[in-house]
């Protein structure tokens, strides 16, 4: 079975080999305070900076999930309040988790067919803006040029970006925001249980001045441990090793991005020419490159999912309120050309 689910998704073919190596080399029982583990973490961070073109002065931390990153940001990076700008279920969840910790949290919603309305956004007295770059639930994205505009307009604020289903798949200009995060079970092609948080020097100095220290995962504490290439708790050492090994074998982010866009164009072309299966998002300028939602009657949606499964392909369920009337196709780097071609042929041959 090949999973085109937009996370967890198909993992890299090299995973079994990397796991065997990890076992052979004693990684699975490695002490997380040992010299070897510190070297592993240091090496992984330097590969991340290199392969994802992360600015050299940004800091990288390991957490367990993107959900944990939502909470870390709410605890450690907000002075008075954050403003959440979103158009779908993941942005909404981030807002909901934050609101439980801080009743001053504000939201600004826009429609999934619209570009993020940079002109209309007001930060009020908020000090942190929260943006979901790639809204996995409805297959829309905030473009690089819009992020750049937001950076310019709110230069005195911190900007946090959820890039969970796009990081390592598309090129992101990380200097346009202060806090970025993603878990690895999407575009990294790795098993779940590890996430990255990437912070600008401005974010770190703000976090140090807030100096929140109430939690095991307070960012001040995580940052001070990372000075010694360590984490507050025993981290997912196997996950970090798999990340390190896969980064060693990874193409540059520009090459990966080019491949993703080529496939994206083919998918868009295919679904633009189907009779009953239609792209959920009609505004071409907001479509996500990595998650493609397709809409039809609920009867046809269940039929297509079932037929695809018989061929060995798992399509992603529609998310939330879009569950019955749509499915989602992941366009993640770990999917092989042959698998993508086969699934495309399945759709073309179906005549739907
Ligand atoms: C998948 C996803 C999450 C949740 O990731 P976890 O690792 O399960 O916490 C958060 N935000 C977005 C945009 C996602 O796609």
Q: Quick one: pLDDT at residue 120?
A: 94
Taking Cα atoms as reference points, which of 119, 124, 114 lies closest to residue 86?
114
Q: Quick one: pLDDT at residue 124?
A: 83
With the C-alpha atoms ordered 332, 338, 343, 349, is the resulting torsion angle positive or negative? positive
Distance 314 CA to ligand 1 centre (A): 19
- Residue to mutate, 6, 7, 87, ligand 1, most ligand atoms under 8 Å from C-beta: 7
Distance 221 CA to ligand 1 centre (A): 23
- b/e for 267-297, b at 16 or more Cβ within 10 A? bbebbeebeebebbbeeeebbbbbbbbbbbe
Q: Starting at the edge strand that comes first in sequence, how are the strands of the sheet with 106-109 ordered? A: 59-63, 195-199, 179-183, 158-162, 128-132, 82-86, 106-109
- Residue to mutate, 6, 135, 165, ligand 1, most ligand atoms under 8 Å from C-beta: 165
The Cα 201–Cα 178 span in angstroms is 8
> Is the CB of residue 323 less than 8 Å from the CB of residue 89?
no
Measured from the Cβ of residue 300, the count of other Cβ atoms closer than 10 Å reads: 16
Q: Quick one: pLDDT at residue 63?
A: 98
| pLDDT lower than 70: segments of the chain | none
For the CA of 136, the nearest atom of ligand 1: 15
For the CA of 185, the nearest atom of ligand 1: 7
Distance 26 CA to ligand 1 centre (A): 30
Using CA positions, which residue lies closest to atom 10 of ligand 1? 66
């Amino acid at each position: 079975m090949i999973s085109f689910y937009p996370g967890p998704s198909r993992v890299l073919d090299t995973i079994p080999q990397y796991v065997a190596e990890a076992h052979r080399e004693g990684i699975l029982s490695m002490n997380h305070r040992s010299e070897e583990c510190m070297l592993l973490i240091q090496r992984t961070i330097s590969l991340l900076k290199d392969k994802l073109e992360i600015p050299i002065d940004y800091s990288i931390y390991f957490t367990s999930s993107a959900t944990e990153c939502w909470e870390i940001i709410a605890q450690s990076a907000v002075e008075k309040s954050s403003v959440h700008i979103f158009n779908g279920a993941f942005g909404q969840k981030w807002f909901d988790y934050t609101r439980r910790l801080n009743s001053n949290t504000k939201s600004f919603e826009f429609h999934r067919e619209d570009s993020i309305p940079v002109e209309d956004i007001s930060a009020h007295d908020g000090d942190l803006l929260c943006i979901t770059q790639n809204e996995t639930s409805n297959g829309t994205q905030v473009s690089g040029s819009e992020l750049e505009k937001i950076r310019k307009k709110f230069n005195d604020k911190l900007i946090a970006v959820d890039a969970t289903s796009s990081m390592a798949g598309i090129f992101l200009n990380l200097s346009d925001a202060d806090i970025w995060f993603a878990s690895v079970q999407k575009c990294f092609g790795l098993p779940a249980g590890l996430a990255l948080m990437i912070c600008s020097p401005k974010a770190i100095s703000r976090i140090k001045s807030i100096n929140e220290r109430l939690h095991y995962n307070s960012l001040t504490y995580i940052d001070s441990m990372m000075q010694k290439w360590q984490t507050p708790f025993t981290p997912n050492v196997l996950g970090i090793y798999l990340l390190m090994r896969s980064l060693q074998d990874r193409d540059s982010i520009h090459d990966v991005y080019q491949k993703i866009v080529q496939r994206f164009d083919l998918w868009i072309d295919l679904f633009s020419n189907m009779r009953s299966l239609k792209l959920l998002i009609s505004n071409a300028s907001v479509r996500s490159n990595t998650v493609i939602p397709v809409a039809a009657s609920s009867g046809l949606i269940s039929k297509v999912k079932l037929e695809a499964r018989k061929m060995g392909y798992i399509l992603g369920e529609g998310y939330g309120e879009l569950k019955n009337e749509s499915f989602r196709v992941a366009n993640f780097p770990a999917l092989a050309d042959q698998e993508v071609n086969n699934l495309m042929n399945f759709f073309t041959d179906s005549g739907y």
